[in-house]
Amino acid sequence: MPAVNITSGEYTKAQAARAELDQMLLFGTTGGGTIAGPFTGLTGVPGAALDLYEVVHLALQRMMQGFQALNNAAAPYPLTSGSFTTRGGTLLLLASASCFPTAPGGLVTLDLKVDAGVVGSMSMYHNETEHQLHSRSLLVTGVAAGAHTFGIAHGANASSDGGDRASLVVIELPF
């Protein structure tokens, strides 16, 4: 790797940023305030041998978390998850659910919910009255910190019975 030339001022800023990161990794605090908790598994301040990959990996472990809100749950809908606590911000929902239309030849919709409010939908045209699988990934922004529930419910022209199943994964993103 080629040498990089930096000024003493840039070096001082980099050292201050590293000290702040070390403080966050070990104790869950920064000069700007308190984070929800420290990283686990660290027994001392990371040394110079800690490369950028390791720092980013540890930071993402701290800032991201996942939750299997529904796992092949049996219909009929609506289905609602247990409670999941987020730090607030952006969530990625990965959903799949089967259903059938109330009448053939129409757009069938299933709604995705956070705290009983619809945040998005999965829609698909059904020619027949047979069960079909819907799937969708959805980015939900502006979620408040705290406990939340997630769910899937009937939307327009949709019906479900015990033969239908739903899965929903929630991933909290660090932005």
Query: Has residue 85 been placed in a domain?
Result: yes
Answer yes or no: is pLDDT of 49 > 70.
no
| Strand, coil or helix: 99 | strand
51 in the same domain as 21: yes
Contact at 8 Å (CB) between 157 and 103?
yes
Q: Total structural domains in the chain?
A: 2
Q: pLDDT digit string (tens) for 117-138? A: 999 999 999 888 889 999 999 9
123 in the same domain as 51: no
Q: Containing domain of residue 53, as a range?
A: 8-63
57 in the same domain as 143: no
- Mean pLDDT, range 153-170, rounded to an integer: 95
| H-type alpha helices, 50-97 | 52-63
Note the pTM of the prediction, 2 decimals.
0.68
Contact at 8 Å (CB) between 52 and 4?
no
Answer yes or no: is pLDDT of 56 > 90.
no
121 in the same domain as 87: yes
DSSP state for residue 103 in the 8-state scheme: S
